[in-house]
Structure 1
Amino acid sequence: MALPVSSWNAVHTGPNHASRQCSSCLQSPPALDACWAATSYAWPWTQLVAQFKFQNDSAWARALALLMQSAPGVEDVLEQVDVILPMPLSAQRLAERGFNQALLLAKALNPHKTQALTLLKLRHTARQSSLKRSERLLNLAGALAVSPLRAASLRGQHVLLVDDVMTSGVSLNTAAQVLKQAGVQSVKALVFARTEV
């Protein structure tokens, strides 16, 4: 089931694939061109995502990716994009968790288009979910970057960002800004679940 992704400054894509924008998006257009979510971040998905991320149960990646892929319109997007980029983790968070859940999801969606080391997290930041919306932008300022070794190959490309959960949309939109500054033509996103607004 695809849900509208109405959130902070994000393009809304509903079940009928028609894009709509809220008034704040019209006043200040987001860098993220569109976003799809397979489901709402509610029971039983909250427990499943927690098990996947925090209890080292990476075997869930394939099943979650299958649900993501089945959201209306997503198969076409996966075919159309040139590159799939997982939202990166800081070195500290990666060491704590042992794996990047977004990378596992991206590889399960399409291993051939997935690039693991193109979008980088330069420094460790507080968890976005622990912050107020106004603090999330400051938390990510200067934290994301495109690898200098991969920047040239991204110019003019259509990119899909992948993550497990979308809350405010700040992380995805910040990543989209960084990618567009590097010359990416379009940036869309696909998440397993999104919080209700």
Structure 2
Amino acid sequence: MGLQAALRLIYPPQCVNCGERVDSDFGLCGPCWRETGFIAGLVCETCGLPLPGEGEGEGAQCDDCLMLGRPWERGRAAFLYRDVGRKLVLGLKHADRTDLARPAGEWLHRAARPILQAGMLVAPVPLHWRRLFRRRYNQAALVSARLAHLAGLAHCPDLLQRVRPTGSQEGRDRAARFGNLAGAMRVHKRRVALAKGAHVLLVDDVMTSGATLTACAEACLAAGATRVSVAVLARVAKDA
């Protein structure tokens, strides 16, 4: 304990966003916390998007989920994809900020608690092997591993495969996003037995249209999963 106290004096905990001193490791300072856009209150039961109104609103859905009919049952998101939240996601995704996976997993675990169930199989949205080779890690897998550990759930980082490179979704409209992902995902041949009969919790860093999660959920159901739920670190809102 003496050594730990000395190290804290020399290297005090810093905000994971701005570097200001904070009380605990892997935390955010007050201003950064307020600018992260953590989601609370009434949310869409299917994707976690915040909704106007108050209360629990069990079964409430956003317009997109009502219109599209998602292939998964329930979903949650930790924060909106804007301001500090967007910066944190981009740091984890493109700037080798793998240290962010620990707090990100904790934030997502807290957000996903209402939909977590015993026996769930946690699996990340996969990267194509070429992108994984360039990036050296799958940010969704880092976050899903932390969430699964905190929730005491089984984690399968290679449950799904992205069988062809899909390119960036940025700049595509909704129809193009869904078309770009059509047939791009499948359950790994060595994991089919694990998926069969499972309630899969898919984890990703960002949800915009839901095209990627739709492709993953459909692949899980085709392989015999009985149910699918989703949890994403950040949710893009139309006004974001």
TM bucket by the smaller chain?
0.7 to 0.9
Alignment equivalent of 2:123, drawn from 60, 85, 88: 85
| Paired residues for 1:66-77 under 5 Å | 66-71=106-111, 74-77=112-115
Task: Name which of structure 1's ranges 138-147 and 27-36 shifts more when overlaid on structure 2.
Answer: 27-36
Indicate yes or no: 2:209 matched with 1:168: yes
The equivalent residue for 1:48 is 88
Which has a greater percent of strand? 1
Distance 1:47 1:23 in 2: 27
Residues 22 and 40 of structure 1: is their aligned pair in 2 closer, same or farther, counting only changes over 3 Å?
Answer: closer
Q: Number of residues paired by the alignment?
A: 192
Q: What's the secondary structure of 2:201's corresponding residue?
A: strand
Q: Percent identity?
A: 32
Contact 2:75 2:115 in 1 (8 A): no
Alignment equivalent of 2:135, drawn from 97, 100, 117: 97
Structure 1 gaps of 5+ residues are none
* Alpha-carbon shift at residue 176 of structure 1 (Å): 0.8
Q: What's the secondary structure of 1:165's corresponding residue?
A: strand
The equivalent residue for 1:2 is 39
* Alpha-carbon shift at residue 48 of structure 1 (Å): 1.3
Residues 25 and 168 of structure 1: is their aligned pair in 2 closer, same or farther, counting only changes over 3 Å?
Answer: closer
Contact 1:154 1:182 in 2 (8 A): yes
* Alpha-carbon shift at residue 110 of structure 1 (Å): 1.6
Identify which of structures 1 and 2 has the higher relative contact order when contacts are C-alpha pairs closer than 8 Å and 6+ apart. 1
* Alpha-carbon shift at residue 47 of structure 1 (Å): 1.1
Contact 2:47 2:65 in 1 (8 A): no
TM-score for both structures, normalised by structure 2:
0.72
Contact 1:157 1:184 in 2 (8 A): yes
RMSD: 2.2
Alignment equivalent of 2:225, drawn from 168, 175, 184: 184
Residues 5 and 139 of structure 1: is their aligned pair in 2 closer, same or farther, counting only changes over 3 Å?
Answer: farther
Structure 2 gaps of 5+ residues are 1-37
Distance 1:28 1:165 in 2: 18
TM-score for both structures, normalised by structure 1:
0.87
Contact 1:12 1:19 in 2 (8 A): no
Alignment equivalent of 2:160, drawn from 100, 119, 135: 119
* Alpha-carbon shift at residue 136 of structure 1 (Å): 0.9
